[in-house]
Structure 1
């Protein structure tokens, strides 16, 4: 499964009083951008697509919400389709995103929700509950773009992702 760059993603439900809210790029008051925030938990910024408009993070319990202007979808390697809802929620802690909602991958003819992402060394393991697949972390150094993913033309070059290292059922 090429859940790479899907996950994309993180995040959480209702923030509590210890939460922080910011725009995707920070709001000029020293707050972190959403992409910097996920890197604080040892995840690459490419788990989220370009265009996140804001986020909320409860530092006490790790609940997180990320907001997009609308739903976002794209294909990876022509075989896998990823879809992000306008709000992505979950819980983030160092090297682990759990209870994810709002991110799904199409496998064959089925849309499956990505429910967990775990960093194991230089790999990210994506779980859809019944199966998981691991991908090299360097697949996630660049944020995918809605509509074209990583197959967007930048100077005439198309970037390809590395296929899964491990998968299980």
Structure 2
């Protein structure tokens, strides 16, 4: 029969091993790279740009990736990566994605999910909320070079604040013009009497 001390030792050993297993996929050098993790989940390694050093994936598939700086990568269209990208990783799919935006017709749309057909048709789908864009899977075979976003103005333009400011100034100018024209007409009518 097992003694109480022996059972306690086995419980502590089991808990220690369980904790070690849940730490699993961190970013230390003896661990897999984020690119290998993507590949193991049936996703192309080129979904994230080159140079990712800090990341974490937990046992439930929740992950985060930290980039040194926000950057843009060019595929068929352009993708923007924030400094922090996160989501839920499962086989052939990333859901609840944040930190990646896709450009289409000069507008930026947040990518909410990415899915690969299984069995593979050679296509990958980006869910940007409004539509689902499909691309050739071959575009994402290797991690792309990512060009650092130059300034805060680029981020302001992407989130629409510069555009909103320009529209606001334009509307104010039209209103001022209409008021000036109304006063001019009133002055002319008063002077003619």
Q: Give the TM-score band, short-chain normalised.
A: 0.5 to 0.7
Residue in structure 1 matched with residue 69 of structure 2 by the alignment: 70
Q: Which structure has greater strand proportion? A: 1
Alpha carbons of structure 1 residues 73 and 62: separation in structure 2 relative to 1, 3 Å:
same
Structure 1 residue 137: deviation in Å? 1.3
Deviation at 1:21?
5.1
Whole-Å separation in 2 of the counterparts to 1:97 and 1:40: 13
Following superposition of structure 1 onto structure 2, how do residues 50-129 of structure 1 map, counting pairs within 5 Å?
A: 50-59=50-59, 61-77=60-76, 80-120=77-117, 121=120, 122-129=122-129
Cα-Cα RMSD? 1.8
CA deviation after TM superposition for structure 1 residue 54, in Å: 1.5
Query: What corresponds to 2:41 in structure 1?
Result: 41
TM-score, normalised relative to structure 1: 0.68
After superposition, the C-alpha distances for 1:61-84 in whole angstroms (9 at most, x for unaligned) are: 21000111111113345xx33210
Higher helix proportion (structure 1 or 2): 2
On the 8 A contact 2:46/2:142 being kept in 1, the answer is: yes
CA drift at 1:22: 3.3
Contact persistence 2:25–2:32 (CA under 8 A):
no
Q: CA deviation at 1:99?
A: 0.5
Taking CA–CA contacts closer than 8 Å with sequence separation of 6 or more, which of the two structures ends up with the larger relative contact order?
1
Structure 1 position 109, deviation (Å): 3.0
Unaligned residue ranges in structure 2 (runs of 5+): 1-18, 149-193
C-alpha distance in structure 1 between counterparts of 2:97 and 2:53, whole Å: 18
Asked which structure has the greater CA Rg, the reply is 2
Q: Aligned pair count?
A: 125
In structure 2, how many angstroms separate the alpha carbons of the residues matched to 1:37 and 1:74? 21
Residue matched to 2:26: 22
